[in-house]
C-alpha cells in the first residue's frame, strides 16, 4: 500500500477534505510510490487562513532575527543534502549528483537571503526642506503563493520561498504533483529551524489548488515557475485581480558555435547542457547553431559518438549520465516529437526512441537523440520538447544565427562559443534573450544576480532572486517627517515645495 502524502499546514501534515488523490511515480521503475492528496479551494483557504494569522508577528520580527532562522534552515539543508538528493532522485529521476548540484543552487539563494537586513535597507534624505527628513522602507506584502514545477523540486521553492519569508512574508508553496516529497521535506526543515507555524505552508494538488491560490482574495502576490501556457494563465488571472505576479516559463535555448570556437570544449559543454537531467531544464540547450558548413560538420563528427554513447540509468546509478523522464506521458510526448522531426524531414543522426534498460523495463527512459538540418518551421524547432533531444539548426553566417534566435518566441537563455571578443560582444548586444553565456553553456546567474528570461519565457517585470526578488516580495513606504522645531510656516493652501 503506497504511502499518502498530505499537505503541510500550520506546522503539521493535514490530509485535507477534497477526497481527491493522484499517483506519484518512481520514474526509474515506473512504479507508483505514493498517493498524493489534491487540495480543494477549501483546503487552500485553510492554508491561507493559517498563514494570515501567522503573518503579522513574523512581519514584525526584526529582520536580523528572521535572518537567524534562515541561517538555521541553511544549515539544516546542508546537513540533509544526501536525504534531499535521494528524495529528489526517487521522484524526479535525475541522478544524485545532478540533484545535489540543484540543491546547492537553492542553498546559494538561502545564503543570499541571510543578508536580508542589509538588502531591506531603505533610503534617507535628511532635510529635504523646512526640517523635513524623507525616508523609505520596504515592508512585506502578506501571504504570497509560490507555484513550482517538477524539474527542480528543491531549488525553485528555495529561490522564491526563502526570499519571500526572509522579507517577512508568509509563503504557500504549491509544488508539482509529480514530485511533492522534497518540498514537503523542506517544510519540515523550516519547522525545525524555528520558523513559526503557518509561515511556510505546502498545499499539494493540481490546477484546482493553483486556481484557488491565484484567485484567493487574501493572497496579494504569486510567483510561478512552469510552462508558458500555464504561466500566462496564472499571470493573466492574477493581474486581472490586481495582484502582483511574476511567471517564469518555457524555453528554447540556442547555442551558437562560431567557426573559431574550441570545438572540443564546445561539444563537452553542449553535451552537459543538452542532455544533463535528460534535457528537463528550463536552461537546457535544445538547439545548437553551427555557423558555416565546416563548423556543422566538425560539430556533428564529435557529437554523434558522444550522444550515441550516453548512459541512461536510475537516479542512484553513479555511472549514469542521465535518468528517465518524469512520467510515461512525458516519454510518449518526447517520442512523438521525434516522430514529427522525422516526418518533417530533419536528419535523425541518433535515435533515442524505444529505449529500454535491463531491470528497469517499465521506467520512463528516452535515449539521447540528435537531429541535424532542422529548420525553423519544424515543430521540433519551435516547441519546447523538454527531453534529451538536441537539434542542429545550421546558419550560414553570424547574422543568420542572431536572426534565428531573435525570431524564436522564447527567450530564456542563449550561449555563444567563440574565441572572438568582438563577435561575443556584438552577440550579447544584439540577442533579445534574458540570460546570455559567452563560452558558458548554462548561464544561470548566481544567487546575488537576477534570474529571468523575456518574451514568452517570462511574464511580469521582476526577476527571480538577486536584488529584484527583494523588490517583488516587498512594498515600498516613504515617510516625510518633521519634528517640532519652532519653524512656523503658517497656513499654506498651495502645493508644498522646498523652494
Cβ-based nearer residue to ligand NAD, 8 or 386: 386
Residue 154 burial (CB < 10 Å; 0-12/13-18/19+)? buried
Instruction: Provide the minimum distance between the beta carbon of 380 and ligand NAD in the complex, in angstroms, as a whole number.
Output: 16
What x-and-dash track marks residues 275-294 binding ligand NAD by CB under 6 A? -------x------------
CA distance 351 to 338: 8
Cβ-based nearer residue to ligand NAD, 210 or 334: 210
Closest CA to 145 of 201, 229, 208, 63: 201
- Applying CB under 6 A, which part among 245-253, 254-262, 421-429, 478-486 lies near ligand NAD? 245-253
Active site residue 282: yes
Instruction: Provide the minimum distance between the beta carbon of 392 and ligand NAD in the complex, in angstroms, as a whole number.
Output: 21
CA distance 411 to 154: 24
Work out which of 11, 145, 146, 149 binds ligand NAD, going by CB under 6 A.
149
The residue behind cell 542512484 is 316
Q: Does 251 bind ligand NAD (CB under 6 A)?
A: yes
Cβ-based nearer residue to ligand NAD, 92 or 244: 92
Q: How many CB atoms lie within 10 A of CB 276?
A: 21
Work out which of 227, 236, 239, 375 binds ligand NAD, going by CB under 6 A.
227
Task: Determine the residue with CB nearest ligand NAD.
Answer: 226
CA distance 350 to 162: 42
Cβ-based nearer residue to ligand NAD, 145 or 313: 145
Q: Does 25 bind ligand NAD (CB under 6 A)?
A: no
Q: How many CB atoms lie within 10 A of CB 297?
A: 12
What one-character-per-residue DSSP string does 472-494 give? HTEEEEEEEE----S-------S
Total residues contacting ligand NAD (rule CB under 6 A)? 28
Q: Does 94 bind ligand NAD (CB under 6 A)?
A: no
Q: How many CB atoms lie within 10 A of CB 329?
A: 10
Please give the C-alpha separations between residue 111 and each of 68, 160, 194, 222, 258, in angstroms, as whole numbers: 11, 13, 17, 23, 37
- Secondary structure E strands in 275-346: 285-290
Q: Does 177 bind ligand NAD (CB under 6 A)?
A: yes
Q: Does 176 bind ligand NAD (CB under 6 A)?
A: yes
Q: Does 364 bind ligand NAD (CB under 6 A)?
A: no
Q: Does 154 bind ligand NAD (CB under 6 A)?
A: no
Cβ-based nearer residue to ligand NAD, 251 or 334: 251
CA distance 108 to 371: 36
Cell numbers at 124, concatenated: 534617507
What x-and-dash track marks residues 195-214 binding ligand NAD by CB under 6 A? -----------xx--xx---
* Helix, coil or strand: residue 158: helix
Closest CA to 455 of 431, 430, 433: 433
- Applying CB under 6 A, which part among 11-19, 147-155, 374-382, 393-401 lies near ligand NAD? 147-155
Helix (H) or strand (E) holding 410: strand 410-411
Q: Does 226 bind ligand NAD (CB under 6 A)?
A: yes
Closest CA to 498 of 123, 134, 124: 134
Please give the C-alpha separations between residue 147 and each of 34, 306, 445, in angstroms, as whole numbers: 21, 36, 21
Instruction: Provide the minimum distance between the beta carbon of 481 and ligand NAD in the complex, in angstroms, as a whole number.
Output: 41
Instruction: Provide the minimum distance between the beta carbon of 273 and ligand NAD in the complex, in angstroms, as a whole number.
Output: 14
CA distance 220 to 445: 28
Site for ligand NAD, residues 367 to 426, rule: CB under 6 A? 384, 386, 412
Annotated active-site residue in 114, 167, 249, 282: 282
Instruction: Provide the minimum distance between the beta carbon of 249 and ligand NAD in the complex, in angstroms, as a whole number.
Output: 5
CB 275 within 8 A of CB 368: yes
Q: Does 443 bind ligand NAD (CB under 6 A)?
A: no
CA distance 482 to 344: 72
Q: Does 238 bind ligand NAD (CB under 6 A)?
A: no
Site for ligand NAD, residues 323 to 342, rule: CB under 6 A? none
What x-and-dash track marks residues 107-146 binding ligand NAD by CB under 6 A? ----------------------------------------
Instruction: Provide the minimum distance between the beta carbon of 22 and ligand NAD in the complex, in angstroms, as a whole number.
Output: 10
Instruction: Provide the minimum distance between the beta carbon of 128 and ligand NAD in the complex, in angstroms, as a whole number.
Output: 41
Cβ-based nearer residue to ligand NAD, 352 or 453: 453
What are the residues whose beta carbons fall under 8 Å from the beta carbon of 340, sequence distance 6 or more?
A: 378, 379, 380
CA distance 13 to 6: 6
Buried b (16+ CB within 10 A) or exposed e, 404-416: bbeebebbbbbbb
- Applying CB under 6 A, which part among 44-52, 173-181, 191-199, 483-491 lies near ligand NAD? 173-181
Instruction: Provide the minimum distance between the beta carbon of 150 and ligand NAD in the complex, in angstroms, as a whole number.
Output: 4
Instruction: Provide the minimum distance between the beta carbon of 293 and ligand NAD in the complex, in angstroms, as a whole number.
Output: 31
Instruction: Give the residues lining the site for ligand NAD (CB under 6 A).
Output: 147-152, 174, 176-177, 206-207, 210-211, 225-227, 230, 233, 248-251, 282, 384, 386, 412, 453, 457
Q: Active-site residue numbers?
A: 282
Amino acid at each position: 500500500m503506497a504511502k499518502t502524502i498530505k499537505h503541510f499546514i500550520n506546522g503539521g501534515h493535514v490530509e485535507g477534505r477534497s477526497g481527491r488523490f493522484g499517483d506519484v511515480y518512481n520514474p526509474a521503475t515506473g512504479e507508483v510510490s505514493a498517493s498524493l492528496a489534491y487540495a480543494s479551494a477549501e483546503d487552500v483557504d485553510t492554508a491561507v487562513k493559517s498563514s494570515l494569522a501567522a503573518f503579522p508577528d513574523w512581519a514584525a520580527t526584526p529582520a536580523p532575527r528572521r535572518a537567524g532562522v534562515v541561517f538555521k534552515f541553511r544549515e539544516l539543508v546542508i546537513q540533509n543534502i544526501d536525504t534531499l538528493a535521494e528524495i529528489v532522485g526517487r521522484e524526479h529521476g535525475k541522478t544524485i549528483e545532478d540533484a545535489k548540484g540543484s540543491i546547492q543552487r537553492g542553498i546559494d539563494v538561502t545564503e543570499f537571503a541571510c543578508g536580508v537586513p542589509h538588502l531591506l535597507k531603505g533610503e534617507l534624505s535628511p532635510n529635504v526642506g523646512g526640517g523635513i527628513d524623507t525616508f523609505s522602507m520596504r515592508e512585506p506584502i502578506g501571504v504570497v503563493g509560490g507555484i513550482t514545477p517538477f524539474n527542480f523540486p528543491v531549488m525553485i521553492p528555495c529561490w522564491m520561498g526563502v526570499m519571500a519569508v526572509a522579507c517577512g512574508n508568509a509563503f504557500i508553496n504549491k509544488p508539482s504533483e509529480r514530485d511533492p516529497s522534497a518540498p514537503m521535506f523542506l517544510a519540515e526543515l523550516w519547522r525545525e529551524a524555528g520558523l513559526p507555524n503557518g509561515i511556510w505552508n505546502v498545499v499539494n494538488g493540481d490546477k484546482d489548488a493553483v486556481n484557488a491560490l491565484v484567485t484567493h482574495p487574501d493572497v496579494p502576490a504569486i510567483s510561478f515557475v512552469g510552462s508558458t501556457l500555464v504561466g500566462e494563465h496564472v499571470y493573466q488571472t492574477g493581474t486581472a485581480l490586481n495582484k502582483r505576479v511574476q511567471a517564469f516559463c518555457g524555453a528554447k535555448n540556442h547555442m551558437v558555435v562560431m567557426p573559431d570556437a574550441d570545438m572540443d570544449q564546445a561539444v563537452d559543454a553542449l553535451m552537459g547542457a543538452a542532455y544533463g537531467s535528460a534535457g528537463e531544464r528550463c536552461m537546457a540547450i535544445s538547439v545548437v547553431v553551427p555557423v558555416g558548413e565546416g563548423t556543422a560538420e566538425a560539430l556533428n563528427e564529435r557529437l554523434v559518438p558522444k550522444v550515441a554513447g550516453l548512459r541512461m540509468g536510475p537516479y542512484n546509478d553513479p555511472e549514469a549520465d542521465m535518468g528517465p523522464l518524469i512520467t510515461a506521458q512525458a516519454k510518449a510526448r518526447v517520442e512523438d516529437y521525434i516522430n514529427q522531426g522525422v516526418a518533417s524531414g530533419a536528419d535523425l543522426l541518433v535515435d533515442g526512441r524505444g529505449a529500454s534498460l535491463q531491470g528497469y523495463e517499465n521506467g520512463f527512459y528516452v535515449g539521447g537523440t540528435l537531429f541535424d538540418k532542422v529548420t525553423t518551421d519544424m515543430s521540433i524547432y519551435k516547441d519546447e520538447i523538454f527531453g534529451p533531444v538536441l537539434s542542429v539548426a545550421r546558419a550560414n553566417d553570424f547574422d543568420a544565427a542572431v536572426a534565428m534566435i531573435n525570431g524564436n518566441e522564447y527567450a530564456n537563455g542563449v550561449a555563444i562559443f567563440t574565441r572572438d571578443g568582438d563577435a561575443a560582444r556584438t552577440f550579447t548586444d544584439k540577442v533579445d534573450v534574458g540570460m546570455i553565456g559567452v563560452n558558458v553553456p548554462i548561464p544561470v546567474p548566481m544567487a546575488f544576480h537576477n534570474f529571468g528570461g523575456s518574451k514568452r519565457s517570462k511574464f511580469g517585470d521582476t526577476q527571480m532572486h538577486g536584488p529584484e526578488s527583494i523588490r517583488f516580495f516587498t512594498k515600498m513606504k516613504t515617510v516625510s517627517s518633521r519634528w517640532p522645531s519652532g519653524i512656523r510656516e503658517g497656513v499654506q493652501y498651495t502645493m508644498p515645495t522646498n523652494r
